[in-house]
A and B are shown apart, each in its own frame.
Chain A
Amino acid sequence: MTDRFSTRNYLRDIKLPFCAGCGDYTVINSFLRALHELGHKDLHKFVFCSGIGCAAWIPSPHFEADSIHTTHGRSIPVATGVKLVRPDLNVVVFGGDGDLVGIGLSHLIHAARRNLDITVIMVNNMVYGMTGGQVAPTTPFKAKTTTTPYGNFEHPLDATRLVATAGASYAARWTTIHITELKEAMKKALTTEGFAFIEAVSQCPTAFGRRVGLKTAADMLRWLKENSVPLKEAEKMAEEELMGKIVVGEFIQRKRQTFTDAVYGVIREAKKGA
């Protein structure tokens, strides 16, 4: 690794559109550093798919790469088509929590079940940020948002555990304060054969933090740090103790046949019989 890391090797010369203090910057940094450390000098072997929302804008059009910015929630289906036709390419999906576990949840579960060999990076800012801060399936219980002015009366979804259970080869959750762990998890995800999922719990001071008493990015990062519980510790804690906590760590790491292997296996069989 003699080459110096520079985001310029991977980004187009366009100003990034995210708010000051947005966690997306950290996610981009971690991702590109992971690529650098894996020896990818550019993105020509990558295809990025993303849906609608702030995190979906991470690759599109900012990465100097092929990127498909799809309809809301449908990045994984589009990635399915790309990956099956071109299994030689690395297909990476970026999306927010609304995109991937709100409107697009069923695709996430089924892609994990099939063990589709793509990497999905979900930036979980716990809110619909781009539309101004409405409640999301990931919003903490009792948190105030623009559509829950009396506090959220639903419980948040544990996306990483769901994906791990559904059949993914790799699933990990970290926050934007865990920059090293996040980068290392991304390296693992990118080298995993099969479905790899990373949830990056992230700060949105603009549309979420300021309504829950965390006005700055620093306040939010402190909150993420204080509320994070490593998976091993969490296993010893009671359900009530874990309310409002962010369980971080690697939830699953396993070998399973990938979807492309299975599909191309069928083609080989059928060609013999034809």
Chain B
Amino acid sequence: MISLPKKEIFMSKQMPPGTYFWQGNEACAEGAIAAGCRFFAGYPITPASEIAEHLAERLPQVGGIAIQLEDEIASLGAVIGASWAGAKAMTATSGPGFSLMQENIGYAFMTETPCVIVDIQRAGPSTGQATKCGQGDVMQARWGTHGDHAMIALSPNSVQEIYDLTIRAFNLAETYRTPVVLLADEIIAHMREETTTPPLEKIEITNRKKPKKTEKAFFGSQEIPPMPAVGEGFNVPVTGSTHNETGRRYTADPVVHRQLVERLVSKIERTTDQLIDYEGYNMNACDAGIISYGCTSRAIYEAVQLAEKRDIKVGFIRLKTIWPFADRVIQEIAQNAKVLFVPEMNLKQLFYEVKRAVEGAVPVFPINKIGGGEMITPEELMEQVVRRMQNLD
């Protein structure tokens, strides 16, 4: 039997605190272990396979389970089962596998099953360029499953950050009782950088709220209800069909459906400000603002310097939380900047969200590049900024 690890149990098995030269995927796997993940199920796919490989070696060492299943659908299914059995659980995939998981992502949302889904984005659609980077799953992460829902998705831009955000993804999944997507990309997943793992006592770990013996409302009455595990004597009925607060199926009652789905969406949307995490620079004193995320955001630091040499004041917001969307932060930079830019390795996805958020206050321009896994360079970024700024005058 495996169970939610207590700190002292897995402390000795964690990588000793220190600095490692890790690949992004390895850092993701180690972040998961540090967060208390003890169950992984996955299916091989480039560029995410190293997560499964690393966990296949490491999880059993800490008393956890790592299995490879027949497809991505089964992988997320097993993760959901493991989570209901009381374990922190994760799967990792890329675009095509992420598509296959969408039905079970909706199921995890509807049944309030904490779990982490890592999507290492590659160039799609379809098989696309399987080994090359892309950022085309931004909208799939938000709207991939059918029906009304809200999603949490995080976007790291370094190896250190994929480690940190994997831990955060688990904490948010446990706090909100919902699936959380770690939306990384091939470049972050395959690059190697120094990564520092803090001493375990410095890592903040959140565990799901457990019910009292007498409680029966595991699917309502509180915004985030407590979650029992199977085998604890609660006789909990779990269903992806519309259900009341005790889990009983109600497939025709309009009020039960409304109450359930509105609560599930609102528990995430109402707390958007708590979920938002970003890095801001010069937000209140810039002419041009850049909104970026993931690997693309690695170009903005140099682009800012290049622009400053040409007397253009550039500010930026680098989103670590992609979903829910940081409307207020975007509106803040839009109060000062004359123009906003959204560089992405796709053909406009987050661009439309930025445009919606600023409500016409400033013009928003997309900067897009796809194919071959080529990043948008600082020079390309600056060139676009300069050209637009000149046209504005």
Chain A residues packing against B (C-beta within 8 Å): 14, 43-45, 47, 49, 60-61, 64-71, 74, 76-89, 106-107, 110, 263, 266-267, 269-271, 273-274
Q: Are A70 and B13 in contact (CB under 8 A)?
A: no
Which residue in A66, A70, A83, A271 is a CB contact (below 8 Å) of B61?
A271
Known contacts A70-B80, A78-B77; A61 and B240 CB within 8 A of each other: no
Interface residue B362 (Cβ < 8 Å from any Cβ of A): no
Contact B70–A269 (Cβ < 8 Å): no
Do the beta carbons of B86 and A85 come within 8 Å of each other? Answer: yes
Of listed A65, A85, A267, residue having the most chain B CB within 10 A: A85
The docked-state distance in angstroms from the alpha carbon of A263 to that of B1 is: 11
Chain A proximity of B102: nearest CB distance (Å): 10
Provide the bound-state CA to CA distance between A83 and B81, in Å. Answer: 8
B residues near A266, Cβ cutoff 8 Å = 60
Q: Is B83 an interface residue (CB 8 A)?
A: yes
Q: What residues of chain A lie closer than 8 Å to B240, measured between beta carbons?
A: 69-71
- Number of residue pairs spanning A and B whose beta carbons lie under 8 angstroms apart: 151
Q: Which residue of B2, B57, B71, B249 is within 8 Å of A85 (Cβ)? A: B2
Contacts A70-B240, A74-B73, A107-B74: A81 and B83 contacting too (C-beta < 8 A)? yes
Interface size on B, residues (CB 8 A): 51
**Residue in B64, B80, B247 with the greatest tally of chain A CB atoms within 10 Å:** B80
A82 to B240, CA, bound (A): 17
Least distance between A270 CB and chain B CB atoms (Å): 3
Binding site for A on B (CB under 8 A): 1-2, 13, 38-39, 41, 57, 60-65, 67, 69-71, 73-87, 89, 103-104, 107, 229-231, 233-241, 247-249
* Extra A-B contacts (16), CB below 8 Å, given A68-B80, A70-B80, A85-B65: A14-B248, A44-B235, A61-B237, A66-B236, A66-B238, A77-B77, A81-B41, A81-B80, A81-B82, A81-B83, A85-B81, A85-B85, A86-B230, A110-B74, A267-B64, A274-B61
Contacts of A69 in B (CB 8 A): 237-241, 249
Rounded to whole Å, the gap between the CB of A59 and the closest CB of chain B is 9
Task: Indicate whether A68 sits within 8 Å of B79 (C-beta atoms), given known contacts A269-B60, A274-B61.
Answer: no
Q: Are A64 and B85 in contact (CB under 8 A)?
A: no
CA distance A76 to B70 in the complex (A): 12
Contact indicator A65/B235 (Cβ below 8 Å): yes
Q: Which chain B positions have C-beta within 8 A of A271?
A: 60-61, 63
Q: How far is the CB of A130 from chain B (nearest CB, A)?
A: 11
In this complex, what residue of A is CB-closest to B63?
Answer: A267
Q: Which residues of B contact A87 (CB under 8 A)?
A: 1
Which one of B64, B73, B233 has the highest number of Cβ atoms from chain A below 10 Å of its Cβ? B73
CB-defined A-B contacts under 8 Å, sample of 10:
A47-B230, A61-B237, A66-B231, A77-B76, A78-B80, A80-B41, A83-B81, A84-B67, A85-B39, A270-B57
